[in-house]
């Protein structure tokens, strides 16, 4: 059981929990004062950084065939960018 501290995924898990707490705070509008747009941008960016970490290290795509990694990186970047563009267009 002590071996789990040696695993990269354990440290990533702790980071993911911390990132969730941070985005939760941004969801309350903290961090950028009254600037809701910046808080929401932070929320979306953090969510996709978390998603990418799960993809690369929990799913082990870091060591997957390059084609699959490319597809998943494109998914992350593409969806994040589209959501941010739609958000900024509407706000």
Partner 1 sequence: MSEHTARRTPHLPGETGVWVFILGDMLMFAAFFIVFMFYRGEDVALYAKSQLTLNQHLGAVNTFLMLSSSWCVAVAVETARGGRPRGAQVWLLSAMACAVGFVVVKFFEYSEKIAAGFTLTSNDFFMYYYMLTGLHLMHVLLGLGVLNYLWFTLRAPPAASTLRTLESGASFWHMVDILWIVLFALLYLVR
CB atoms near residue 55 (< 10 Å): 20
Q: Print burial letters for 25-41: b (CB count within 10 Å at least 16), e (below 16).
A: ebeeeeeeeeeeeebbb
Is 38 one of the binding residues for partner 1 (CB under 8 A)?
A: no
The distance of closest approach from Cβ of residue 85 to partner 1 in the complex, given in angstroms and rounded to an integer, is 9
Tally of residues, the chain = 91
Quick one: which of 31, 32, 47, 73 contacts partner 1 (CB under 8 A)? 47
Number of residues forming the site for partner 1 (CB under 8 A)? 51
Does 78 bind partner 1 (CB under 8 A)? Our answer is: yes
Q: Is there a contact between 44 and 86 (Cβ–Cβ < 8 Å)?
A: no
Told to check if 36 binds partner 1 by CB under 8 A, we report yes
Site membership for partner 1, residue 9 (CB under 8 A): yes
At residue 24, φ and ψ (nearest 5 deg) are -60, -45
Q: What is the CA radius of gyration of the chain?
A: 16
- Residue ranges in contact with partner 1 by CB under 8 A: 4, 7-10, 12-13, 16-17, 20-21, 23-24, 26-29, 36, 39-40, 43-44, 46-48, 50-51, 54-55, 57-61, 63-66, 68, 71-72, 75, 78-79, 82-83, 86-87, 89-91
């Amino acid at each position: 059981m002590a071996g789990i501290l040696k695993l990269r995924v354990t440290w990533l898990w702790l980071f993911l929990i911390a990132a969730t707490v941070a985005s939760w705070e941004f969801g309350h509008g903290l961090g950028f004062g009254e600037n809701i747009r910046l808080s929401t941008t932070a929320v979306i960016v953090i969510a996709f950084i978390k998603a990418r970490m799960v993809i690369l290290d929990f799913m082990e795509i870091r060591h997957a065939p390059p084609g699959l990694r490319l597809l998943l990186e494109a998914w992350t970047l593409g969806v994040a960018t589209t959501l941010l563009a739609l958000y900024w267009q509407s706000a």
